[in-house]
Amino acid sequence: MMNTPISHEALRMVDVATLRDTIRTGRYQGHTAGLAAGFLQVNLVILPERYARDFLRFCQRNPKPCPLVGVTDAGVRRFHTLGHDLRADTDAPGYNVYENGELARQCDNVAALWRDDFVAFALGCSFTFEHALMNAGIAMRHVDENKTVPMFRTNLPLIAAGPFAGTMVVSMRPVRKRDLSEVAEISARFPLAHGGPVNTGTPSAIGIKDVEKPDWGDAVDIRDEEVPVFWACGVTPQNVAIAARLPLFISHRPGAMLITDVNERADPPILDRRRAT
Amino acid sequence: MMNTPISHEALRMVDVATLRDTIRTGRYQGHTAGLAAGFLQVNLVILPERYARDFLRFCQRNPKPCPLVGVTDAGVRRFHTLGHDLRADTDAPGYNVYENGELARQCDNVAALWRDDFVAFALGCSFTFEHALMNAGIAMRHVDENKTVPMFRTNLPLIAAGPFAGTMVVSMRPVRKRDLSEVAEISARFPLAHGGPVNTGTPSAIGIKDVEKPDWGDAVDIRDEEVPVFWACGVTPQNVAIAARLPLFISHRPGAMLITDVNERADPPILDRRRAT
């Protein structure tokens, strides 16, 4: 069978099972924003078991940047609480492999690198609250401008666990002043997708010098009637795992998330097998 | 110094530091309902480190009965994210020690039993949403009648992790039909305190034969205009740890919860040291 590449536009039309198969067979390596509408997308971290216990503690202690929505048994490739056949090693469109804190390689899957001591973690993603905001009629500037959301290092301390420590990474979205309370209230409904903002309108208070110069992603305009609003960001755990200089860890390629079979509004975000088809 | 016993009524008047000292020094062994108003109270589970990783997974996979709000480092007695000086081994009014699935002893503290491989877990408690409901003018029958909330075994399956498996335990509160949607909405705001109901009005659908015969706690009347509403219950993890027949695990004595320094409405329920006094 030919592994013909498929476009993002074509994939917007397919069901989640077809989408997963397309990604698993290496026919799509792009970003997943706008794909599989209504299904929960997650950040992915894969670590050797010896670091898993402290990473679990780190997520529990820092739930806004690291909202844990799934964890595999050691050596098991599938997230059985998040999908009918959802593989951690093949089902993100791209993977980054880090060795001793350096990016060692990028791959379409990590099936051949899998080890019996690997544990995979799924962490909530801002797409969930962005969809809820857009459904409420609140525009997302970076989506409208087809950009990657701007992300910044901050001075907000994380609570350490074992080798995992550092400061929080945040994402920024400009919000009209009149929408601020609604935006805060809607995003707070999704504690497993970073929840409510960590700062509204005072970037210098969290150590951000220039909102026009993000550390990752693209700058976006902030208009006169808008203020910058900052949310805890799923880049935080990757950044922390890099800084910890673990001998080996793997993450999804930023923007190329793992797409689950769970409804993004499910509470809790666990596959209900009694309702599953 | 004399360890004079102190009454529940007298303790309702004291601040949380005095309350903690009173409990730590063995002068109060009673229940904690109604004490330390506004502060988060938690269920406590203490396990040897070798079971901690699977117990963390179990909590992640079953967040409604087991909402994890704190976990210590191995061998560390203090929950540093939940209090300024909050000890897992002395600060609950009473402890149950289980060996091989049997209640081996009850004690005022477990300081002398502490081991370097112990890990303590704090799990959210229904007091949090009960307070929010009572503040909204919705009466709690078991509180009005000074009873223990009725609790029931169900047929709702839990998602296993290692030796931890079984079915959910639920608590029941009668709710007036006209209050049902408000009660569901308010309790759903507290996902780390069991969140919204798991069943409303159909006990037989979750395997409960007789709502007048609870498996734990006291029966309460259900009036004509009311229906029984069921929430995931913090007795679930104890029940599961007993069934797993671990060589050793420790829990608080039911009703005698661990009282933290965290505001019960804090999101996330983590002590913010920048605001701490």
Instruction: Determine the pLDDT at residue B277.
Output: 33
Does position B164 have pLDDT exceeding 50, yes or no? yes
Cα gap A265→B253, rounded to integer Å: 36
Nearest to A270 among B61, B196, B267 (CB): B61
Contacts of B60 in chain A (CB under 8 A): 56, 68, 70-71
ipTM metric: 0.82
The model's pLDDT over B42-53, given as tens digits with 9 standing for 90+, comes to 999 999 999 999
Instruction: Determine the pLDDT at residue B34.
Output: 85
Interface test with A, best of B54, B55, B56, B192 (most A CBs within 10 A): B56
Contacts of B159 in chain A (CB under 8 A): 80-81, 270
Instruction: Give the pair of three-digit tokens for residue A217.
Output: 């992603």
Name the least confident of A35-39, B199-203, B238-242, B272-276: B272-276
Does position A2 have pLDDT exceeding 60, yes or no? no
E strands, A158-255, are 167-176, 199-200, 226-232, 249-252
Cα gap A253→B127, rounded to integer Å: 42
Residues near B26 by beta carbon (within 8 Å), at least 6 away in sequence: B3, B108, B109
- With b for 16 or more beta-carbon neighbours within 10 A and e for fewer, the B180-200 pattern comes to beebeebbebbbbbbbbbbbb
Instruction: Determine the pLDDT at residue B2.
Output: 54
The predicted model gives B159-181 an average pLDDT of: 97
- The closest of B250, B242, B272 to B260, measured between CA atoms, is B272
Bridge partner residues of A151 (DSSP): A171, A216
More confident residue, A269 or B184: B184
Instruction: Determine the pLDDT at residue B274.
Output: 46
The predicted model gives B106-127 an average pLDDT of: 96
The model's pLDDT over A211-229, given as tens digits with 9 standing for 90+, comes to 999 999 999 999 999 999 9
Q: B151: number of CA atoms within 13 Å, CB side?
A: 18
Asked whether the beta carbons of residue A63 and residue B268 sit closer than 8 angstroms, the reply is: yes
**3 state DSSP class of A176:** strand
Cα gap A79→A121, rounded to integer Å: 9
Q: Is A91 exposed, middle or buried (0-12, 13-18, 19+ CB in 10 A)?
A: buried
pLDDT-derived band of residue B4, with 50, 70 and 90 as boundaries?
Answer: confident
Instruction: Determine the pLDDT at residue B1.
Output: 47
What does residue A148 show for φ and ψ, rounded to 5 degrees?
Answer: -85, 135
Q: Which residue of A has its CA nearest to B57?
A: A71
Q: Is A73 exposed, middle or buried (0-12, 13-18, 19+ CB in 10 A)?
A: middle
